[in-house]
């Protein structure tokens, strides 16, 4: 079974802090994703990566950055945390199969982040 592990289930930080959320997958997947989940808004894509050191902006990248130095690890960075970034953050991965697309995404359990 694919395992996507997020480093923390719950995290509390202060406004203005630099926050790191870590995600590791064990299935050698090329694609990795960061979403935030808010009630009624579903899952919104922040950033995704389809290869090491590659990244692309999703629908709501403002205030976030990412890092992918190794294939199995994808980090989300809140440069200067603000209260409106309080949310549930989900990481996901999927394989790159030729032809492109059509592969299920496998999700981690999420990190509930509170910014005070």
Partner 1 sequence: QQPVQSPQAVILREGEDAVINCSSSKALYSVHWYRQKHGEAPVFLMILLKGGEQKGHDKISASFNEKKQQSSLYLTASQLSYSGTYFCGTEPFKAAGNKLTFGGGTRVLVKP
Q: Tell me the number of residues near partner 1 by CB under 8 A.
A: 31
Eight-class DSSP state of 101:
-
Residue from the set 19, 94, 111, 115 that interacts with partner 1 by CB under 8 A? 94
Note whether 21 binds partner 1 by CB under 8 A.
no
Neighbour tally for 74: CB within 10 Å: 29
Q: Which is nearer to partner 1, 79 or 109 (CB)?
A: 109
Answer yes or no whether residue 98 interacts with partner 1 by CB under 8 A: no
Q: How far is CA 45 from CA 16, 42, 83, 98, in A?
A: 23, 10, 19, 23
- Site for partner 1 contains 44 (CB under 8 A): yes
Binding of partner 1 by 26 (CB under 8 A):
no
- Give yes or no for a contact between 49 and 56, defined as CB atoms under 8 angstroms apart: yes
Of the pair 48, 81, the CB lying nearest partner 1 is at: 48
Structure tokens at 14: 């202060």
């Amino acid at each position: 079974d694919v395992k996507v592990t997020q480093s923390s289930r719950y995290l509390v930080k202060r406004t203005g802090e630099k926050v790191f959320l870590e995600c590791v997958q064990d299935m050698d997947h090329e694609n990795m994703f960061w979403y935030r989940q808010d009630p009624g808004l579903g899952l919104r894509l922040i950033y995704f990566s389809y290869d090491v050191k590659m990244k692309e902006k999703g629908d709501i990248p403002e205030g976030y950055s990412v890092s992918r130095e190794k294939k199995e690890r994808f980090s989300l960075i809140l440069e200067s945390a603000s209260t409106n970034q309080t949310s549930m953050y989900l990481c996901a991965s999927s394989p790159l199969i030729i032809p492109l697309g059509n592969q299920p995404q496998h999700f981690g359990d999420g990190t509930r982040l509170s910014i005070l």
